[in-house]
Chain A
Amino acid sequence: MYDILYNILGNQVVAWIIAAALPLFVFILPFALFAVWLERKVSAHMQDRLGPMRVGWHGVLQTIADIIKLIQKEDIIPAEADKKLFNLAPVLVFAGSYAAFAAIPFSSKYIGSNAEVGIFYVIAVSSFVVVGILMGGWASNNKYALLGAMRSAAQIVSYEIPSAIVILTMVMLTGTLSLDKFSQMQTAYFWNWFILGGPGSGITKFLLIPFMIVGFTILYISTLAEVNRTPFDIPEAESELVAGYHTEYSGMKFAMFFLAEYGNMFAVSAIITLLFFGGYQSPFGYLGNTFKLPWLVPIEQVFWFTGKGIFFVFVQMWLRWTLPRLRVDQLMHLCWKFLIPYSFVNLIIVGFITLFR
């Protein structure tokens, strides 16, 4: 992306700034606006309600109105809060979720950074969010915020283990850490997706399918917990902790936490898409190839990638309105006694299959 901009603009700094800011304004902000609306509509319709209906067609502009309201709000800092950390925390949380987008390939032509260690970088940088959350909870000088932050930290750190093991399984199977290569491997049709055994044919492909499904399930559950979504939303359990780590935040700082949350939701969905569901590849081949229009292919890829990502975000919302919140001990029980053993067994079996294929 940077290279293309550099060729067009001829100025390193400008190209660098645009390349860095582009995903924010082109994707994350509109996505967050859309996702908040989608969340409200999905939750409403699952409860046989209508949700926002007034602002725009079926309330599509509701989030924009909310953002305008948030901008106008007074920025309140509690008197006893640690002001420096308090102001830094939302920036850090947002930076953590935003940084993950740098390595995510939206199409073969649009990657912030085509790093060879893409998936490793994403795991590393998304843990950054924990620091911001803990910082915000601590600096608020509020017992509920601190409790929420502690829970969140414990939860994210625990659930990184099963997700890392599943990602390790996939890395072992494919032999690459680059997210772009992950996508390229699953090209052509949907039976080349890793959820269906990956490219290639023969008995190993079919042997892999159940273990891929197990891996996908574990990864989905643990990433769900990492982004603090229901049923793993004990850090923001409103019935026990007011709102968790962002209790004391208002106005734009609250909006930044919010934006980071929705950005993270898409980031983890994107990781799942990349690892198991073909990344930016179309499931049925490209219209651009059939009609000999090569410029259409990257656009289709963006469509497929965001489509798959938004589908998994939708499933996250769907689960939110299906399952009740887990207790703290149940949460840890699920992670340490179920997800981690299963992911280890999965790792070993997939390792053997990889060895003998």
Chain B
Amino acid sequence: MSGLKQYLKDTWQGIWTVLVGMKVTFKHLFVPAVTIQYPDVKINLPERARNRLYVNMDDCIGCDQCARACPVDCIEIETVKSIPGEDLGLTSNGKKKALWVTKFNIDIAKCCYCQLCVFPCPTECIYMTDVYEFSEYERENLVYKFATLTEEEAEEKKRNYEKYMAEKEAQKTAAAKTKTEQPKTGDNK
């Protein structure tokens, strides 16, 4: 008899537990979904989220401090000194720019998002943005070129500087020549 009792009890428990489970799942049918329709809706990023780097070239003075701070050497900066008479303008915090930044490349594929480049910047022109969708098919497309000068302009600035230096050198040598020649003439007199 106890066997039959157990059998009926088992049956009832089987049905009852299924109904309990069904109640749970039915409730979940009306729970708002946690899914976010990603490209249309995006979660707000945390306040100090670190994503793609951006450089505001108007403020960059070409000091190379970010490149030196970078632990993975993903920033490449080349500069050319300006010649007197060239006005490069001021940065937003009033510093005078002295260098033409002919190359400012950040290879974001190498970047480790440590943000160490951001802190040393004296003009706060390099910073992390909230852009995190920048996948590319080609790896070289991940090298971001921030330099505002075109290649020709950069070449021109380089030539200008070389010319200026050469002129200066020439002046120097000329001056030295005159200096060395003067006593000679004096001797001659």
Contacts and interface: CB of A to CB of B under 8 A. Distances in A.
A319 B22 contact: yes
Interface string B26-57: 10111111110100000000000000000000
Which of B24, B26, B35 has the largest number of chain A CB atoms within 10 A? B35
Which of A42, A47, A319, A338 has the largest number of chain B CB atoms within 10 A? A47
Contacts of B33: 44-45, 48-50
Interface residues of B, number: 18
A128 interface: no
A289 interface: no
Interface string B146-167: 0000000000000000000000
Interface string B1-43: 0000000000100110010011011101111111101000000
B146 to A, nearest CB: 36
Contacts of A338: 11, 14
A342 B14 CA distance: 14
A49 B22 contact: no
Contact of A323 (B21, B28, B31, B37): B21
A286 B34 CA distance: 42
A89 B18 CA distance: 35
Interface string A16-45: 000000000000000000000000001011
A154 interface: no
Contacts of B26: 318
A48 B34 CA distance: 6
Nearest to A45: B29
Contact of A45 (B11, B15, B28): B28
Contacts, number: 41
Contact of B24 (A44, A50, A322): A322
Given A48-B34, A50-B35, A323 B18 contact: yes
Given A322-B18, A342-B11, A46 B35 contact: no
Contact of B28 (A48, A50, A53): A48
Contacts of B18: 319, 322-323
Given A50-B35, A217-B15, A342-B11, A42 B29 contact: yes
Interface range for A:
10 to 19
A53 B33 CA distance: 12
Given A48-B31, A50-B33, A50-B37, A318 B25 contact: yes
A344 interface: no
Interface string A202-239: 00000000000000010000000000000000000000
A310 to B, nearest CB: 15
A45 B28 CA distance: 7
Contacts of B14: 338
A322 B34 contact: no
26 contacts: A42-B29, A44-B33, A45-B28, A45-B29, A45-B31, A46-B25, A46-B28, A47-B28, A48-B31, A48-B32, A48-B33, A48-B34, A48-B35, A49-B35, A50-B37, A53-B37, A318-B22, A318-B25, A319-B18, A319-B22, A322-B18, A322-B24, A322-B25, A323-B18, A323-B21, A338-B11
Interface of A: 42, 44-50, 53, 217, 318-319, 321-323, 338, 342
Interface of B: 11, 14-15, 18, 21-22, 24-26, 28-35, 37
Given A53-B37, A322-B25, 4 more contacts: A45-B31, A46-B25, A48-B32, A49-B33
